[in-house]
Amino acid sequence: MCKKHSIFSFLFFAFFYSYYAQNTDSIWVVNNYTKQEIMVKMRDGVSLYTSVYSPKSNSLKQPILMMRTPYSCTPYGSNNFNPRLYSAHWIKYLKKGYIMVLQDVRGRYMSEGEYMDVRPFNENKLNNETDEASDSYDIIDWLVKNIPNNNGNVGVFGISYPGFYSTMAALSNHPALKAVSPQAPVTDWFMGDDFHHNGAFALMDGFSFYSAFGKPRPKPTTVHEIGFEFPENDAYQFYLKQGALKNLTKHMSGIKFWNDLMQHPNYDDWWKKRDARIGCKNIKAATLIVGGTFDAEDCFGAWNLYKAIENQSKQTTNKIVMGPWFHGGWHRSSGSYLGNVRFEAKTSQYYQDNIEIPFFDYYLKNQQNSKLPNEASVFFTGINKWEFFNEWPIKTLKPTALYFTNNNKLSFDNNIKNDLVYKYISNPQNPVPYADGVHLNRTKEYMIDDQRFVSKRADVLVLETDVLNKDIKLGGPLVADLNVSLSSTDADFVVKLIDVFPDDFKYNDTVCCKGVKQESNMGGYQMLVRGEIMRGRFRNSFEKPSAFTPNKIENVKFTLPDVAHVFKKGHKIMVQIQSSWFPLFDRNPQQFIDIYKCDDKDFIECEIKVHTSKNNASKLILPIIN
């Protein structure tokens, strides 16, 4: 058989097997489960749409596993079953007899009430006051009292925004709630999740998401929103043509949260109330925080919600899992690769079968023989291996400086003899692209993309080590510590940590990804391990931003999300620094003015200098594990 026919046959049978498996499972679900659609009244009289999938067999009392969502419980109708019940790993719960519950949150789709984005947690509710925690409490209370054949144990889980609602459920502390798993949880939309990173606005995600999601819904509906219709397929050119950020607002008429964003450029009380961590003080349910090290949306939320619960609710059984996944990849992919980078294992299946399902079985089915996950289960890329720890970050972590030195080199030795200055011109009319090629939607692969497409640009500072003579293992938060001066009064700083593969590197196709459209020859690949942006005006305070004094050396120091990666012997470590990452994030006009209200004419060029010396070195502080 010719190669073309072999590939066709492989793809055909892969599709057939996937379709057949899903079709078989869908028939099984319909034959073995019933669906109820119920409007459940909350304490203030507002009723929320709730779909309950119960096993037809009554031989055993079963636990309840629930997801609350703003993204719809579709399809509606008692004979229409949600495809996630059989097309994803949820089928494994149904085969175990779990009662599955989905709910439209207040003000979304078929639920009554008024919707509010990241509704603040109210710790001191009076009378019939509500928040997402109280709605969680009320639905749990109703379920255990009214759903036949339940065993009195409830779990809640959800990815992304449903991850936020999972956190709020944990804060409800209903006595029947035994286990909660916030996954890629929306946690802080100013500091690091979804729509802002260190105060910089995530332009592509914010505009495309809220042009649909933010549309008002005056009454319950089953109809999904339609977002902005882009006139071209090149996101870089589209957003560049729009000019100043305020010019996009004309496309967002009636979208309240977008207008709220435009009115709150700094980390004020409005933002602080919307930080999901503020209520994590006395959580009774066991928690399993899940995230992806290459999650473009909520990597910050997973790491930092776990740390908040550890610090604020020490009595809580609190665990974290971080795999090499994109946003929700543990639920909707094999987790064996992302883009061209391979992980050489079906990491998602391992997680589902060995971590998530045993966690819920233990607490909801009282299966004491189920093996509970470790405190921290973390997949290290580079060596492509799961490792398990009793805490995170681990106590033996050694923060180690990687210094900017002569000749665009990085060194673990501060061997600078004379003061050094690296400089580049940041031009907002020609911003550094975040990804290669022409595309409209923000890619998930940019988190591990090859960075060679920008490494030759004059406005990108590139430094690298010599070839490593041993493995360097990183596990924990990175810290960028830069000494800079500007020719203007503000700028952004994007810091990227990169793994440079050897020139002769090639993946073994027999281990992973045979038949997948993916590069095997990866010689010289510059894999982005972690990148993050810092809006310079917030270098001293997110609440009270301050201008730079032109030509004065100032310190910009910030923490990047945790990494779990091994730089192998024979590789090199690279750091890139730039002052735009477009259109992933909005452009800084490079003047200390209100970015949400400034005009096109306010965007100016800025000469940026990075200073380093023997006594005041610019550096990246790496979380090295020996």
pLDDT, mean of each 10-residue run, the chain (626 residues): 43 43 85 98 98 95 98 96 94 98 98 98 95 98 98 98 98 98 98 97 98 95 95 97 96 94 97 97 97 98 98 97 98 95 96 97 90 94 98 96 97 91 98 97 97 97 98 98 98 98 93 75 97 98 98 98 98 98 98 97 98 95 96
Three-state SS string over 450-485 comes to: EHHHCCCCCCCEEEECCCCCCCEEEEEEEEEEEEEE
Q: Are the C-beta atoms of residues 354 and 322 closer than 8 Å to each other? A: no
What is the number of residues in the chain?
Answer: 626
Instruction: Note whether 53 and 37 are within 8 A (CB).
Output: no
Amino acid in position 235 = A
The confidence score (pLDDT) of residue 21 equals 55
- How many other C-beta atoms are found inside a 10 Å radius of the C-beta of residue 284? 17
Question: What's the confidence (pLDDT) of residue 14?
Answer: 44
CB–CB of 331/159 below 8 Å? yes
Full-model pTM? 0.94
Secondary structure of residue 289 in the 3-state scheme = strand
Give CA torsion, residues 128, 134, 135, 136, to 10 deg.
-160
DSSP 8-state symbol, 373: P
Give pLDDT, residue 11: 40
Structure tokens at 154: 């409830």
At 520, is the secondary structure helix, strand, or coil? coil
Q: Which two tokens stand for residue 233?
A: 């397929």
The DSSP secondary-structure symbol of 390 reads: S
C-alpha angle 292-295-297 in degrees, rounded to nearest 5: 135
Strand partners, 268: none
- Supply the DSSP string of 591-623, one letter for each residue: SSS-TTT--GGG---EEEEEEE-SSS--EEEEE
Nearest to 306 by CA among 317, 295, 294: 317
Structural domains of the chain in order of their starting residue, each with its CATH number: 398-624 (2.60.120.260)
Taking the C-alpha atoms of residue 40 and residue 421, their distance in angstroms, rounded to an integer, is: 64
pLDDT of residue 369: 79
State whether residue 51 is helix, strand or coil: strand
Per the omega criterion (within 30 degrees of 0), is the bond before 75 cis? yes
What token pair was written down for 101? 């519950």
How many whole angstroms from its chain centre is CA 376?
18
- What is the CA angle 184-188-192, rounded to 5? 75
User: Tokens 């919307």 sit at which residue?
Assistant: 274
- Separation CA 157–CA 167 (nearest Å): 9
Which pLDDT belongs to residue 415? Answer: 86
What token pair was written down for 112?
């009554």
